[in-house]
Amino acid sequence: MPPSDVTMIGFPSKAHYSGIRKSLRNRSYSGLTDTERWQYHAYDYAWRRTFLGNADEAASPIDPDRSWYDEASAAAAQRFFKR
């Protein structure tokens, strides 16, 4: 279930994005908490929309069945990338 509050501490921000990426490298995807996974996928969807022009969220190769898709979080992350 997606987070009920997209204003999770530090999300989205440059420091938070760097932290999620560092956690992913150090602990791998399976080592992320559920909250971190929601945030990670929000950043991924937002990155794809912003930099690849991919408006079709179903095209994400890391979440093909959209299990981790949350529109509010993805929109917040997309605003972060557009700054």
**pLDDT attached to residue 24:** 94
Give the predicted TM-score (pTM) of the model: 0.86
Q: Residues 21-55: pLDDT tens digits?
A: 999 999 999 999 998 999 999 999 999 999 988 77
3-state secondary structure 32-75: CCHHHHHHHHHHHHHHHHHHCCCCCHHHCCCCCCCCCCCHHHHH
Query: So where are the chain's domains?
Result: 14-82
| pLDDT band with cut points at 50, 70 and 90 for residue 58 | low
Q: With the C-alpha atoms ordered 7, 72, 19, 1, is the resulting torsion angle positive or negative?
A: positive
Angle at 33 between CA 27 and CA 38, to 5 degrees: 110
**pLDDT attached to residue 27:** 94
Mean pLDDT score of the chain: 87
